Amino acid sequence: MRTYKLTAYKQDGELITEESFQAEHDDAAKEKGRAILEEKELSEQTHRLASPDGKLLLFHS
């Protein structure tokens, strides 16, 4: 399992949430990241999901 980091911000740059979670691979992490954003109603907020390698998997501004 690999550890991924999801962060979401308000338009003014204030941090809303920052959490880490584990997934087997990048595609599974994208699905899990999207689910977390939907659950917290943050899909339309600025957000990013980064892999352990620093690769940006999800980004919305």
Model pLDDT for residues 6-58, shown as the tens digit of each residue? 999 999 999 999 999 999 999 999 999 999 999 999 999 999 999 999 999 99
pLDDT of residue 51: 98
- Confidence band (pLDDT; 50, 70, 90) for 3? very high
Helix (H, G, I), strand (E, B) or coil at 23: strand
Prediction pTM value: 0.91
Chain CA centroid to CA 33, Å: 5
Which two tokens mark 49? 């999901």
For the chain, the structural domain boundaries read 2-60
28 residue type, one letter: A
